[in-house]
Amino acid sequence: MSTETSGRATDQAIAKIKELIIAGEFSAGSRLPREQDLAARLGLSRSSLREAVRALSLVGVLDVRVGDGTYVTSLDADLLLTGIGFVSDLMEADTLLEMHEIRRILEPAATRLATHRLTDEDFEQLHACVRRMESAESVTEFLEADAAFHGVILDACGNGALASLIQNLSSSTLRARLWQTVMAHDAVEATLANHRAIVRALEARDEDMAAAADMMHLALAEEWIQKFAEQPAGDGA
């Protein structure tokens, strides 16, 4: 069988399994029939089915448990959207900029939603994240504190799918390239000021100001990503 034919057979197998999940025959958490039985039921070769199962496991739809069988996952947004983060790690600078533009559209809305849901404990975590950024001695420390800061807000927005999508749009590669550029241009203090402004607006429970502060922060970040994109190949992070 040629590679092209094999690929088409795998695509058909993926489509058939997806149809069964959508139809409710295989619900979240359910176990799939044995490989030979499922292949016969779907009219597929076992090799095509095996490739389809492998592909669906990579994107969080199926969970292959050695010695136990193959199960449909919980199908939660967190699980299904992780592929975006994986793919974004492989993107070129120009495409990363486009990914950030999507984040700039979505994240202020999530911040607005979180404004009246954040607890006293959440605010303590936000202040702790800012202090960690202030004292960070490396890009890694700064990145971890920044990710934790935005994670607190996203967790409080009340929309798991939106939070997961935004988190996966901001991949580790994008953050690393961004902060390398920020530090190279001595713009850490300006970035910290953005984070402090977001916290002040959230503490005031002013959703318009909080969304605006987040948008300003993301606009500044986009400027630094643009600078990274303009660097000659081989330069930068």
pLDDT at 236: 45
Domain ends where: 55, 74, 93? 74
Residue 131: pLDDT band with limits 50, 70, 90: very high
Query: 38-76: per-residue pLDDT in tens?
Result: 999 999 899 999 999 998 988 889 999 988 999 999 888
- Considering the domain architecture, whether residues 44 and 89 belong to the same structural domain is answered as no
| Residue among 124, 145, 126, 125 at smallest CA distance from 135 | 145
pLDDT at 140: 81
pLDDT at 37 > cutoff 60: yes
Q: Into how many domains does the chain fold?
A: 2
pLDDT at 225 > cutoff 60: yes
pLDDT at 70: 95
pLDDT at 177 > cutoff 70: no
Q: Is residue 236 part of a domain?
A: no
- Considering the domain architecture, whether residues 38 and 129 belong to the same structural domain is answered as no
pLDDT at 196 > cutoff 90: yes
Cα angle 161-163-168, degrees, rounded to a multiple of 5: 95
Residue 184: which domain range? 80-229
Helix (H, G, I), strand (E, B) or coil at 131: helix
Q: Is residue 173 part of a domain?
A: yes
- Considering the domain architecture, whether residues 222 and 127 belong to the same structural domain is answered as yes
CATH of the domain at 157: 1.20.120.530
20 vs 176: which has the higher pLDDT: 20
pLDDT at 35: 92
Q: Is residue 8 part of a domain?
A: yes
pLDDT at 3 > cutoff 70: no
Mean pLDDT of the chain, nearest integer: 85
- Considering the domain architecture, whether residues 113 and 36 belong to the same structural domain is answered as no
CATH of the domain at 41: 1.10.10.10
Domain ends where: 74, 93, 115? 74
Q: Is residue 235 part of a domain?
A: no
Q: What percent of the chain has pLDDT over 90?
A: 50
pLDDT at 88: 60
Cβ pair 44, 12 in contact under 8 A: yes
pLDDT at 91 > cutoff 60: no
Beta bridge partners of 31: 71
Residue in the block written with tokens 């040629």:
2
Q: What percent of the chain has pLDDT over 70?
A: 80
Cβ pair 203, 123 in contact under 8 A: yes
- Considering the domain architecture, whether residues 31 and 15 belong to the same structural domain is answered as yes
| Rounded Cα–Cα distance for residues 132 and 18 (Å) | 44
- Considering the domain architecture, whether residues 106 and 218 belong to the same structural domain is answered as yes
pLDDT at 109 > cutoff 50: yes
Q: Is residue 218 part of a domain?
A: yes
| Rounded Cα–Cα distance for residues 217 and 224 (Å) | 11
Q: Tokens for 80?
A: 């299904």
